[in-house]
Amino acid sequence: MNNKYILGLNIYHADSGACLIKNGSVEFAIEEERINRIKHWAGFPIESIKACLKHSNIDFDEIDYIAVNTNAYSNLLKKIKYCFLNFKNYEIYTKRFFLKLKKKSFKDILINEFNPKKIPKFKFYDHHLCHIASSHFPSNFRESLVISADGFGDFTSTTAAIAKGKSFKFIDKVFFPHSLGIFYQAFTQLLGFKNYGDEYKVMGLSAYGKNKFSDEVSQVIGILKNSFKLNLNYFQHHSSNIDMKWENKSPTFGNLYNENLARLFKYKFNGGQISDIHADLAYSVQDKYEEIIINYIKYFKNLTNINYLSLSGGCAMNSLANGKIIENLKFKNVYIPPSPGDSGGAIGAAILCNNEFNYKPNNQFYNNPYLGGDLDEINLLSIIKNKVEKNLTNENISFELVDSDEVLCLKVSECLANNKVVGWYQNRMEWGPRALGNRSILANPADKKMKDLINLKIKRREKFRPFAPSILEEYVNDWFEENIEVPYMSAVFKIKKDKIDKLPAVVHADNTGRLQTVSKNKNYLFHKLISDFNKITGVPVLLNTSFNENEPIVNTPDQAIDCFLRTKMDILAIGKFILKRDND
């Protein structure tokens, strides 16, 4: 039987990228930003498609289907009705209509790039259906309550569905212009964080605040019995032609809020230094968001009596809320994929296409997040020699080659125990926004100075942002108040009181940590490294942050070595090579 290949795409949207399914299994997945080095890049991901083909050593002509995570015909009657009732805003909807047409007409790009003998069949799937497919199928749950929430996709912001086997039954949809994603993004902008994806800054800042603006925030969004509703008097995403750029760049947005929201708080948040009042507003916004999303999920949990939750959409990146959902709603299990946002929709679309045509459906499709490029060790020595010889840091950089994974982990764990900061570049790259132990910067979580040191000298980012603890899964119950598997760093939990003083570099201001549970099955080498560190220190945890410096996570050995050289990392472990700064 011939192999069947499905290419999944997220196009002309933030975090554009591609994945490849072969005979029912995800072979490869990557976001274009990792290749072109532009954060959250939006456009048509040609280089990601090429990377998929290269990894599987196939030609474009071998692709059977191309599946895209949007469908211009989804919720069409709702769109027509809304446009008819709001005809004065026709310019907004005309602009969005042409963007939808562009997403359907990329055939010429493929012809010009690949000159194929045949064009694959195209399949377009509803945006939120792709989200829920990306979470339900890899969860391996037989049946689950599936919640997808983001800004908007195909005129919808939030959906609840019942997933059973291959079938989905939508039981609720929240339509434009009401959106939890818009609510949170508008306040992110108001606080002065204007870049796309800055919502995580609000999450980090909220731990330092108090709920002083509960009444004001409650005026902006209301809770219904089983839903929510924006007070549109404070927003302009529905009524103004907001400047949004989605093509061949990092996405940019004009303000989603209007002056009424700015006046509500009687303070100019987006000017000057971050202060206590910023933290207080961040707390109040986060608290209201959690109240709404928990109310929404709880309603449908009680309605369906389903005890398994699959969660996706950009809002599923809110790890603080995810932790509260798990703590408060007591599902038997909760699954959040490694890329719950729009890039994950590429996998969702490919899975839906695979299931539609019964190409050896795989119940899980993939079982770990390491779906990106592999470490090619063939030319590694020459790359290292070239970089070290040309380095302009005036520092003496030495390197050695160790002969086994055991020696590598032992040497690196000793460096970590001695409070060295380590760049760790191993095996295949992670899929999704989190560094999960293959493209990571690692450090000793017990060193009180480590958080400030990494923030100042390596990551060069705001002091209020925390670092994540990666913990051996067999020790979670000893160190955290929730004993649950969190392999993709997707939820925040309280650290046990008797362990707080032992983890000063990863304990946030509210005594929490956004943990990653590390198992032998998903990442043997990273598990081995933490195990060796635990033998030396008695701490089964490492500080883990993404291997980058205000850029996308490093994708190639060249990028990893460049990042090591221009920052103040002490060690770089790349494959079985260990590079060191010899400054002593």
Task: Judge if 87 and 35 occupy the same domain.
Answer: yes
Residues 433 and 351 in one domain: no
Report how far residue 175's alpha carbon sits from residue 264's, in angstroms, rounded to the nearest whole number.
26
The reported pLDDT for the residue numbered 397 is 92
Residues 429 and 572 in one domain: yes
Find the helix or strand (DSSP H, E) in which 27 lies: strand 25-31
Strands 577-581, 571-574: pairing is antiparallel
What pLDDT is attached to residue 239?
86
Residues 352 and 450 both lie in one domain: no
Q: Are residues 349 and 452 in the same domain?
A: no
In a shared domain, residues 409 and 351: no
Structure tokens at 316: 């599923």
State the residue range of the domain holding 409: 380-581
Q: List the pLDDT tens digit at each of the 584 positions of the chain.
A: 589 999 999 999 999 999 999 999 999 999 999 999 999 999 999 999 999 999 999 999 999 999 999 998 898 788 777 777 776 655 555 555 555 556 667 999 999 999 999 999 999 999 999 999 999 999 999 999 999 999 999 999 999 999 998 899 999 999 999 999 999 999 999 999 999 999 999 999 999 999 999 999 999 999 999 999 999 999 999 888 777 777 788 988 899 999 999 999 988 887 778 999 999 999 999 999 999 999 999 999 999 999 999 999 999 999 999 999 999 999 999 999 999 999 999 999 999 999 998 766 556 799 999 999 998 777 899 999 998 888 766 788 999 999 999 999 999 999 999 999 999 999 999 999 999 999 999 999 999 999 999 988 788 888 899 999 999 999 999 999 999 999 999 999 999 999 999 999 999 999 999 999 999 999 999 999 999 999 999 999 999 999 999 899 999 999 999 999 999 899 999 999 999 998 64
CA distance 243 to 189: 14
Classify residue 456: in a domain, yes or no: yes
Report yes or no on 162 lying in a domain: no
In a domain, 373, yes or no: no
Q: Are residues 350 and 439 in the same domain?
A: no
Distance set, CA 218 to CA 179, 234, 561 (Å): 15, 12, 48
* Contact (CB, 8 A) for 239 and 255: no
Residues 395 and 530 occupy one common structural domain: yes
Residues 350 and 466 in one domain: no
Q: What is the pLDDT of residue 361?
A: 56
Q: Give buried/exposed letters for 242-258 (b at 16+ CB in 10 A, else e).
A: eebebeeebbebebbbb
Do 463 and 519 lie in a common domain? Answer: yes
Does 483 fall in a domain? yes
Q: Which of the 8 DSSP states describes residue 316? A: G
Q: What is the pLDDT of residue 316?
A: 98
β-strand 571-574 against 422-425: which pairing, if any?
parallel
Give the Cα separation of 558 and 262 in Å (integer): 45
Place of tokens 């019942």: 162
Give the predicted TM-score (pTM) of the model.
0.95
H/E run at residue 342: none
pLDDT in the model for residue 96: 56
Q: Look at residues 425, 424, 422, 409 and name the one whose alpha carbon lies nearest to residue 376.
A: 425
Cβ neighbour number for residue 122 with a 10 Å cutoff: 15
In a domain, 257, yes or no: no
Report the pLDDT value the prediction gives residue 33, as an integer from 0 to 100. 98
Contact, 359 vs 524, CB < 8 A? no
DSSP string, 221-290: EEE-SS-EEE-GGGB-TTTS---EE-SSB--EE--SB-HHHHHHTTS-TTSSS--HHHHHHHHHHHHHHH
Nearest residue to 516 via CA among 553, 552, 476: 476
Strands 468-472 and 512-518: parallel
What pLDDT does residue 294 have?
A: 98
Tally Cβ neighbours within 10 Å of residue 198. Answer: 14
Residues 465 and 282: their CA atoms lie apart, in Å, by: 13
Q: Report the Cα 432 to chain-centroid distance in Å.
A: 5
Q: Are residues 351 and 460 in the same domain?
A: no
Q: Which amino acid is at 192?
A: G
Q: Is residue 271 part of a domain?
A: no
How many separate domains does the chain show? 2
Report the C-alpha gap between 427 and 48 in whole angstroms.
19
Dist. CA 351–CA 510, nearest whole Å: 39
From 356, 391, 411, the end of a domain falls on 356
Q: What is the DSSP annotation of 513-551?
A: EEEEEE-TTT-HHHHHHHHHHHHHHS--EEEEEES-SSS
In this predicted structure, what is the pLDDT of residue 392? 65
In sequence order, which ranges of 69-224 are alpha helices (DSSP H)?
A: 76-85, 90-104, 107-114, 127-139, 180-190, 199-206, 214-220
Q: Please give the structure tokens belonging to residue 138.
A: 């890899």
Q: Which residues contact 49 (CB under 8 A, 6 or more apart)?
A: 7, 9, 18, 60
Domain final residue, candidates 324, 356, 388? 356
pLDDT at position 93 is: 52
In the DSSP assignment, the letter for residue 42 is B
Q: Is residue 104 part of a domain?
A: yes
* DSSP code, position 449: T
Beta-carbon count within 10 A of 1 CB: 5
In a shared domain, residues 405 and 523: yes
Last residue of a domain, one of 305, 322, 356: 356
How far from the centroid of its chain's Cα atoms is residue 493's Cα?
18
Contact, 479 vs 540, CB < 8 A? yes
Q: What CATH number should be reported for the domain holding residue 535?
A: 3.90.870.20
Examine residue 218 and state whether it is found in any structural domain, yes or no.
no
Q: What is the CATH number of the domain that holds 77?
A: 3.30.420.40
Q: Which residues face 442 on adjacent strands? A: 422, 544
What is residue 245's predicted lDDT score, i.e. its pLDDT? 74
| Rounded alpha-carbon distances, angstroms, from residue 519 to 368, 371, 483, 576 | 10, 17, 14, 21
Q: Quick one: pLDDT at residue 360?
A: 65
